[in-house]
Amino acid sequence: MINYQATESFALELDFADPLKKYREQFQIPKKPNGEDAIYFSGNSLGLQPKTARDYIEQELEDWAKMGVHGHISARRPWIPYHEFLAEQTARLVGAKPIEVVVMNSLTVNLHLMMVSFYRPTLQRHKIVIEANAFPSDQYAVQSQIKFHGLDPKTSLVELHPRDGEFTVRTEDIEAFIEKDGESIALIMLGGVNYYSGQVFEMERITKAGHKKGCVVGFDLAHAAGNIVLDLHKWDVDFAVWCTYKYLNAGPGAIAGCFVHEKHARRFDLPRFAGWWGQNKETRFLMPFDFEAILGAEGWQLSNPPILQLAALRASLDIFDEAGMKALREKSERLTGYLEILLNQNRDDNISIITPNDPKQRGCQFSIRVKKNGKQLHDRLNAAGIFCDWREPDVIRVAPVPLYNTFADVCNFAETFNKLSREG
């Protein structure tokens, strides 16, 4: 058992022994005005730029400059199949088979595409279940899908709330709810990690409970992909969507990911919104009138994808693949564990951590609830060179990310945080 200390020299020792320490150098770390590295704890919002992203994008710019349209076939990495170059790495990242994943569009678009196929309400089974405090885009998306089917969100949308006085939803409560109401539920669609509380939902157990009652189960993995170890195929999840600009460092507004379980690969009977990039590759350029979907997740594609975006994502996925999600997760648990100890050493009544204290139920993120003057505290942290964010009404979110954050970052953050919060 390590005796964690709140000194920079102790944190530097941990950094020295860190087997993943070389990866920090592979990222552009924003600077404070004095030129020192800032403490970047906003990787749960926008991940940092891999230094290689520029080279990967430049290669495509060069090929475009030299070859014009011929780049579709003759670029060093031809553009027509470019998304296929990301399939294996993406599959490893989320615990899937390559046929189950594709990168395309953006997250909310993918969520809609999935619901078009997998939210099939009937008179008896019409509800969508989401977590209370789901990200607004998810709330709008599910409400609009319900209305699209002529139904009313007041009766067809159910939110799962934590118990009174608690901030996270207990898995046993979710299971009990599904057991009781399952026959009226068409779709369970939760965040893999809730954006506000940082709670990791027990996806395997929830999927099992949902399937037992005949519900479709999907997840929004915006805060889970690249953060926690995922095993979507084995967990038997029906579909999942995620963005790549957070933990996956693919840049602002980057292209998103989508998982469709192999068991649905041949579900050509399902309605879907189609586009030519989902069309059978053998015949796509013969321009047939009738749509014939590619097997698997690729069959849900609409448009030919943005190559510069895919190039940026590839730069980051190469790093993930080398570092490995398991090793990253191990370091992440140690970083957050250290942060928790240091914050708890100085906590007063004004501060509470709403993220679960069980490491299995959280990822990189800590959501710190500040009862009074939280927004001012957040602004002062930013002024001190700490990147963190404020989520209304009362939460400061911080996320030490194992690829590029250090134990020294955690120690220095905690020292500044404790000092500024004491000053009120």
Chain residues that interact with ligand PLP, rule: CB under 6 A:
106-108, 135, 137-138, 191, 195, 220, 222-223, 243
Select 11 or 260, whichever has its Cβ closest to ligand PLP. 260
State the nearest-atom distance from the C-beta of 184 to ligand PLP, in Å: 25
Select 195 or 387, whichever has its Cβ closest to ligand PLP. 195
State the nearest-atom distance from the C-beta of 419 to ligand PLP, in Å: 30
Amino acid at 273: F
Select 112 or 272, whichever has its Cβ closest to ligand PLP. 112
Select 195 or 417, whichever has its Cβ closest to ligand PLP. 195
Q: What are residue 337's phi and psi, to 5 degrees?
A: -60, -45
State the nearest-atom distance from the C-beta of 6 to ligand PLP, in Å: 32
Select 161 or 212, whichever has its Cβ closest to ligand PLP. 161
State the nearest-atom distance from the C-beta of 281 to ligand PLP, in Å: 27
What are the angstrom distances between the C-alpha of 51 and each of 16, 18, 34, 256? Answer: 22, 21, 22, 21
State the nearest-atom distance from the C-beta of 301 to ligand PLP, in Å: 17
Select 361 or 406, whichever has its Cβ closest to ligand PLP. 361
Structure tokens, 201 = 């939902």
DSSP 347-405: --TTEEE-S-SSGGGB-S-EEEEESSSHHHHHHHHHHTTEE-EEETTTEEEEB--TTT-
What are the angstrom distances between the C-alpha of 67 and each of 71, 72, 75, 305, 400? Answer: 5, 9, 7, 18, 42
Select 106 or 350, whichever has its Cβ closest to ligand PLP. 106
State the nearest-atom distance from the C-beta of 14 to ligand PLP, in Å: 30
Are 10 and 341 in contact by the 8 Å Cβ rule? The answer is no
How would you label 146-158 residue by residue, b for 16+ Cβ within 10 Å and e otherwise?
beeeebebeebbb
State the nearest-atom distance from the C-beta of 423 to ligand PLP, in Å: 31
State the nearest-atom distance from the C-beta of 228 to ligand PLP, in Å: 14
DSSP 294-334: PSSGGGG--S---HHHHHHHHHHHHHHHHH-HHHHHHHHHH
| Residue that the structure tokens 């998304």 belong to | 83
Residue 281 CB coordination number (10 Å) = 13
State the nearest-atom distance from the C-beta of 223 to ligand PLP, in Å: 6
Return d(Cα 342, Cα 19) in angstroms, integer. 23
Helix, strand, coil shares of the chain as percentages rounded to 5? 45, 15, 40
Select 47 or 374, whichever has its Cβ closest to ligand PLP. 47
Select 105 or 279, whichever has its Cβ closest to ligand PLP. 105
Residue 86 CB coordination number (10 Å) = 23
State the nearest-atom distance from the C-beta of 225 to ligand PLP, in Å: 11
Structure tokens, 330 = 């191990």
> What are the residues whose beta carbons fall under 8 Å from the beta carbon of 323, sequence distance 6 or more?
20, 23, 403
Return d(Cα 170, Cα 179) in angstroms, integer. 14
If DSSP codes are grouped into helix, strand and coil, which group holds residue 23? Answer: helix
Select 146 or 254, whichever has its Cβ closest to ligand PLP. 254
220, β-bridge pairs: 191, 241
Return d(Cα 32, Cα 197) in angstroms, integer. 28
